């Protein structure tokens, strides 16, 4: 279930999604705000019930808020391929590889899917049961895809990642920026794939 207190990113900040399970909260992306923790607390989220923060990639507008969460002993996970990117933004930090977060993700039926292209370690999170995709900066609700011209970006990887995602059944598409949609996610992904094939 998407918690009602997910945060829409403002300016150079990513969206932050909060999924609530019986056991606690899952946070996806950490925004560009250094004190994300205060936002979460003011939304009534008990920090002791946050099970982990799962990053879609290592860009500063998605990881800067991690500093406040790590300070509260909350575990965070990122694909190792984006570790140097993350460290170039917030310095060396105790962040685990996404493989260590898989048991936690499985508890709520989520899979981590490597989707390089925007960055080498870009990762999407997918629920087959709920047809929900947290897509980071790989694909957006308007049918566009993330930049591939930044360090570590790859046109061919982006096209392959979008092709892979387009084979999934997606209703809810929760991207790293802009609007999310609760219906028609697969349509947006197919459009992004054809846009990428045309533009890249």
Place of tokens 């802009």: 178
The DSSP line for 101-116 is: HHHHHHHTTEEEEE-T
Positions 95 through 154 that interact with Zn ion (CB under 5 A): 137
Nearest to 132 by CA among 50, 19, 33, 7: 19
Cβ pair 133, 124 in contact under 8 A:
yes
- Closest to Zn ion by CB, 68 vs 122, is 122
157 scored as a contact of Zn ion (CB under 5 A): no
Using the structure block, give the residue that is written with the tokens 């390089």. 116
Phi, psi of 161 (to 5 degrees): -65, -45
Smaller CB distance to Zn ion: residue 118 or 159?
118
Longest Cα–Cα distance in the chain: 47
* Stretch of 53-61, 65-73, 105-113, 153-161 lying at the interface with Zn ion (CB under 5 A): 53-61
Calculate ∠ Cα 182-183-186, nearest 5°: 115
Residues that contact Zn ion, how many (by CB under 5 A): 2
Does 59 interact with Zn ion (rule: CB under 5 A)?
yes
Q: How far is the CB of 109 from Zn ion (least distance, A)?
A: 26
CB of 59 vs Zn ion, minimal distance in Å: 4
Q: Is 51 strand, coil or helix?
A: strand
Q: Which is nearer to Zn ion, 39 or 60 (CB)?
A: 60
Contact between 159 and Zn ion (CB under 5 A)?
A: no
Q: Which is nearer to Zn ion, 137 or 157 (CB)?
A: 137
Interface with Zn ion, residue 82, by CB under 5 A? no
Q: How far is the CB of 183 from Zn ion (least distance, A)?
A: 25
CB of 14 to Zn ion, least distance (A): 8
Q: State the nearest-atom distance from the C-beta of 138 to Zn ion, in Å.
A: 9
109: Cβ–Cβ under 8 A, 6 or more apart, which residues?
127, 128, 129, 130
For Zn ion, the binding residues (CB under 5 A) are 59, 137
């Amino acid at each position: 279930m998407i918690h009602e207190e997910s945060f829409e990113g403002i300016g150079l900040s990513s969206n932050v999604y909060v999924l609530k399970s019986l056991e606690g909260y899952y946070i996806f992306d950490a925004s560009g705000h250094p004190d994300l923790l205060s936002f979460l607390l003011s939304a009534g989220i008990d920090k002791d019930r946050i099970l982990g923060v799962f990053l879609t990639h290592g860009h500063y507008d998605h990881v800067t808020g991690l500093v406040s969460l790590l300070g509260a002993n909350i575990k965070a996970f990122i694909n190792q391929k984006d570790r140097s990117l993350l460290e170039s933004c917030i310095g060396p930090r105790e962040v685990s590889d996404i493989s260590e977060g898989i048991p936690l993700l499985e508890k709520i039926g989520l899979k981590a899917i490597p989707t390089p292209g925007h960055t080498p370690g870009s990762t999407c999170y997918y629920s087959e049961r709920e047809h929900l995709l947290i897509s980071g900066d790989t694909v957006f609700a308007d049918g566009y895809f993330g930049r591939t011209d930044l360090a570590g970006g790859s046109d061919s990887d982006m096209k392959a990642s979008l092709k892979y995602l387009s084979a999934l059944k997606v209703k809810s598409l929760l991207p790293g920026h802009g609007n999310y949609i609760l219906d028609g996610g697969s349509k947006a992904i197919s459009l992004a794939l054809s846009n990428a094939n045309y533009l890249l």
